[in-house]
Amino acid sequence: MKFTLNGNGVEYTGALNARLLDVLRDEYRLTGVKCACKEGECGACSVIMDGRLINSCMVAMGRAAGSDIVTIEGYSKTDRFAVLDNAYASVSAVQCGYCIPGMILASECILAKNPHPTEDEIREGISGNLCRCTGYNAIVHAIQIASKEGSGLW
Amino acid sequence: MVKSYIPSSLGEALAIRAQESVIPYGGGTDLMIEAPDDASYLFVGKIPDIRKIAEEGEIIRIGAACTFTEITESSLAPDLLKEAVSRIGGPAIRNLGTVGGNIGNGSPKADSALIFFVTDSSLRLISNQGERILPVRDFYLGRKQTALRSDELIAEVLMPRTGLENYYYKKIGARNAQAISRVSFAALMNMSGGRIENCAAAFGAVSDVVIRRNDIDAMLTGKTIAEARALKASYLEQYDRAIVPITGRISAEYRKAVCMNLLRDFLESNGI
């Protein structure tokens, strides 16, 4: 089975019922994909599949066949990431950091859909990504800053 | 034997379904929660034939592999269905989860299934032997038990397109997002020439199967609002007897009280 991982074509020969989350971490060593609840509740394992945010714990490998998957490792090489990185840092939106890879990818999906989202749209967009430090206000603010500073990128 | 399959066409999927013991896999958001290591899946989520949303006469056909996000973004999907599916999980779950999986999982908490109950929608089930159309209410046999045969797949939901404008929908969960329904309620009230043409109510997450009692609703058919008001107490009393909630994380008493409050509010919002 073949799929695209962070821009590179890969051929996967393991079990089709294995979890994408486990395969990304254990086989491809992409440990920016975090494992927390493993039941689709927390968003720590979020990746982008075919342009949409998904929970990698909720995907068996067979569902990923032919898909284009981007993890935080791939995304962190983009100009858009640099804008989000600066925006998050500027308001100290990162505390323990565990939710952040998923949160950044959720931020990307919000801005890719709508470069100038309202606060409600931002909150809706990150509603599946839990931050147990409860730093949501700073994260929402960071996305608003990125929307402004990254004008034209999205 | 543990083996999973990625068919490229519906024909290929049906051939495998007929011969192998496989679990149809749409988006995986229910299946992956308690996925055993030896699960054999048939990945149907990307089969083009069951990913379409189309209008046909009085019916809207919704492919079983359509995700909740695709329904929300569709210009053809009715608002009632959009509202219900937009409350499922969070964005990342809605980007994966499919209506076929929501129904096939057999749960009375399935937020899209509630809408298919209240609208008296049907399912098109297909196999190598042909197809059959089954009303949603006949598909559910009990908790986690459905009428789907081992060689069949859910192909489409056939939902009425009309008579859905005056709807009432409430999902009661513990949070705004990422919440599984504690009680969900959907209802329709259609008037024609000053009389009730169709009154329909459905209760999800309450019993083993979504509660839909066309026989009780029928007592309001053909009545004026004033006549319906006179029947209100009797209508509520019949539902009070019909709703027998199960106790789960929350009590049966709570579920019952919420159901009756929502039903009463639905009537009152229509002047009854």
Q: Give percent above pLDDT 90 in chain B.
A: 92
| CA B230/CA B218 separation, integer angstroms | 15
Q: Are both B123 and B196 inside the same structural domain?
A: no
Q: Cα B124 to chain center, whole Å? A: 14
> Does ipTM come in above 0.90?
yes
CATH number at residue B92: 3.30.465.10
| pTM recorded for the entire structure | 0.96
Indicate if B150 and B249 belong to the same structural domain: no
Instruction: Tell me the residue type at B138.
Output: D
Last residue of a domain, one of B112, B135, B160: B160
What number is the average pLDDT over the span A129-135? 92
My answer on whether B149 and B195 are in the same domain is no
Q: What is the CA radius of gyration of chain B?
A: 19
pLDDT at B93 over 90: yes
Q: Which residues from A are below 8 Å from B23, CB to CB?
A: none
Q: Which of B78, B132, B134 is nearest to B103 (CA)?
A: B134
Mean pLDDT of A122-128: 97
Q: Specify the pairing of strand A2-5 against strand A68-70.
A: parallel
Say what the pLDDT of residue B249 is: 82
Identify which of B132, B72, B82, B125 has the alpha carbon closest to the alpha carbon of residue B103: B125
pLDDT of residue B181: 87
Q: What is the pLDDT of residue B97?
A: 98
State residue B113's pLDDT score: 97
In the predicted structure, residue B1 carries a pLDDT above the cut 70? no
Q: Rounded mean pLDDT of chain A?
A: 97
Q: d(Cα A10, Cα A1) in Å, to the nearest integer?
A: 9
CATH number where B210 lies: 3.30.390.50
In this structure, which CATH number among 3.20.20.70, 1.10.150.120, 3.90.1150.10, 3.10.450.30 belongs to the domain A78-149? 1.10.150.120
Q: Indicate the residue among B118, B143, B160 that finishes a domain.
A: B160
Among B138, B160, B182, the domain boundary falls at: B160
Q: Which pLDDT value is given to residue B250?
A: 86
Burial classification of residue A9, based on how many CB atoms lie within 10 Å of its CB (0-12 exposed, 13-18 middle, 19 or more buried): exposed
* Residue A127: per-residue pLDDT: 96
Structural domain count of chain B: 2
Confidence (pLDDT) at B155: 98
**Is the pLDDT at A107 greater than 80, yes or no?**
yes
Q: What pLDDT is attached to residue B177?
A: 77
Does one domain contain both B173 and B245? yes
Write out the H or E segment, with its range, that includes residue B123: strand B122-127
pLDDT one-digit tens code per residue, B172-198: 988 877 788 889 999 999 999 999 999
**Residues B173, B137 share a domain:** no
CB–CB contact B91 A106 (8 Å): yes
Q: Do B91 and A124 touch (CB under 8 A)?
A: yes
**Edge-to-edge strand ranges of the sheet holding B167-172:** B167-172, B183-192, B195-204, B211-212
Facing residue for B4 by CB, picked from A53, A62, A109: A62
Domain boundaries, position B195:
167-269
By C-alpha distance, the chain B residue nearest A59 is B28
Asked if the structure places residue B9 within a domain, the reply is no
Q: Scanning every residue of chain B, which has its alpha carbon at the shortest distance from the alpha carbon of A110?
A: B91
Q: How far is A110 from chain B (nearest CA, A)?
A: 10
CB contact under 8 A, A128 and B91: yes
Looking at residue A9, its pLDDT comes to 98
In a shared domain, residues B139 and B245: no
Domain boundaries, given as residue ranges, for chain A = 2-72, 78-149
Q: What is the pLDDT of residues A40-91, one digit of tens each?
A: 999 999 999 999 999 999 999 999 999 999 999 999 999 999 999 999 999 9
Same domain as B134, residue B173: no
Q: Tokens for A117?
A: 């989202």
Q: How many CB pairs under 8 A join A and B?
A: 101
What's the confidence (pLDDT) of residue A116? 97
DSSP A130: -
| Portion of chain B with pLDDT greater than 70, in percent | 100
- Name the closest residue on chain A to residue B29, using Cα atoms: A58
Task: Count CB neighbours of B254 within 10 A.
Answer: 14
The secondary structure element, H or E, covering residue B183 is strand B183-192
Q: Which CATH architecture has domain A2-72?
A: Roll (3.10)
Together in a domain, B143 and B240: no
Residue B95 to residue A16, Cβ atoms within 8 A: no
Are residues B151 and B171 both part of a single domain? no
